[in-house]
Amino acid sequence: MATKKSAKKTYPTKSGKKSTTPPSERWSAKVTTDSTKPGPGLFKKSAKAIAAGLSKKSVSPKGPGQAMQMLSFYENRGGKNLSPERKKALENAKDILREKEGKKPARKPASR
């Protein structure tokens, strides 16, 4: 007598790819923060606008470091669903924020 394999339940994502992790168990569901939130649609703008919007005192009262954390969280949360253009804009925004912090921009990988 053959036993039936139990199929994992899948959850649809915006990209149409299936996730086997229920939304309530994903790492981002457990993130709590007392920081302020950036305005709606901010991450869909240009790199310069993203950096300017995140570096405002009303959004990042603790300075550019906090803005960098929000930007990294957004990028990590977007994951595979972010287009290459969006990823590039977010990386450029990070470089602008690093500059405001007085740090050197991240080293770019060498082109082959």
pLDDT at 13 over 80: no
Per residue in 62-96, pLDDT tens?
A: 888 888 888 888 888 877 788 999 999 999 999 99
Phi/psi region, residue 16 (left: phi>0; alpha: psi -120 to 50; beta: rest), is left
- Does residue 6 or residue 75 have the better pLDDT? 75
The pTM is what?
0.62
Does residue 27 register a pLDDT over 80? no
Tokens of 108: 């770019």
Tokens representing residue 8 in the block: 């994992």
Number of Cβ within 10 Å of residue 111's Cβ equals 4
Q: Which of 46, 53, 52 is nearest to 92 (CA)?
A: 46
Chain segment 40-65, per-residue pLDDT in tens = 888 889 999 999 998 888 888 888 88
